């Protein structure tokens, strides 16, 4: 057996045994005294310049969205807020209304991609997904300890959206892919 054949066989064998956990990492932060953990894709990192755990707000971005030359076609960010002002709405409809109030501009397109009440295994609360002209946005509002709450937000957007210019946002399969990725991020957040 040649070295090349052996290498290919070992590579195939290692790929067969890869687990979803190997494609991400668990990150732990403390938001205004509340411990929180979130599972992030491997290329995500804490954005230290836009984070302050003491105040209860942290953000994450992808290293791959910071190219040396050119601009990425899609930028993905996420944030966690655990300030004492965050509350979980009483109903799913109220959670959708809150997300729309934050993300939808009057007179502009803003489509609801999904809404759901999260199971107790996912920490409870609500998850809402929206798409507007320039981005796909997800909000998850979850209860935390001692009456506190946690807000996870994530966004995938095209940095240079212009009317009449096609982007990944015009391709339903890519919108669904972005939605699934950022929903998974916020679904994983637990206080």
Domain ranges of the chain: 23-188
pLDDT at residue 137 greater than cutoff 60: yes
| CATH H-level superfamily of 23-188 | Mog1/PsbP, alpha/beta/alpha sandwich (3.40.1000.10)
Burial class (CB in 10 A: 0-12, 13-18, 19+), 136: buried
Give 71's pLDDT tier (boundaries 50, 70, 90): low
pLDDT tens-digit map of 77-135: 999 999 888 999 999 999 999 999 999 999 889 999 999 999 998 889 999 999 998 89
Reference 44, options 72, 71, 14, 66; nearest CA is 66
pLDDT at residue 31 greater than cutoff 60: yes
* Better-scored residue on pLDDT, 14 or 77: 77
List the beta strands (DSSP E) in 63-109. 75-81
Give kind and range of the element (H or E) at residue 176: helix 172-188
Report the predicted TM-score, pTM, of the whole model to 2 decimal places.
Answer: 0.81
Rounded CA-CA distance 123/145 in Å is: 11
Q: Tell me what pLDDT residue 3 has.
A: 35
């Amino acid at each position: 057996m040649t070295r090349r054949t052996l290498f290919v066989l070992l590579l195939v064998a290692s790929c067969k045994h890869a687990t979803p956990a190997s494609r991400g990492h668990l990150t732990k932060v403390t938001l205004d005294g509340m411990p929180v953990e979130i599972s992030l894709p491997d290329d995500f990192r804490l954005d230290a310049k836009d984070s302050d755990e003491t105040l209860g707000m942290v953000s994450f971005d992808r290293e791959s969205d910071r190219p040396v030359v050119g601009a990425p076609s899609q930028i993905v960010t996420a944030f966690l807020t655990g300030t004492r002002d965050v509350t979980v709405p009483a109903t799913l409809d109220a959670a959708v209304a809150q997300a729309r109030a934050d993300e939808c501009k009057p007179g502009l397109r803003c489509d609801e991609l999904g809404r759901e009440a999260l199971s107790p295994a996912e920490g409870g609360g609500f998850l809402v997904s929206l798409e507007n002209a320039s981005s796909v946005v997800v909000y998850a509002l979850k209860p935390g300890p001692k009456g506190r709450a946690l807000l996870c937000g994530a966004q995938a957007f095209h940095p240079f959206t212009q009317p009449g210019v096609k982007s990944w946002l015009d391709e339903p399969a890519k919108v669904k892919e972005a939605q699934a990725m950022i929903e998974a991020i916020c679904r994983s957040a637990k206080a």
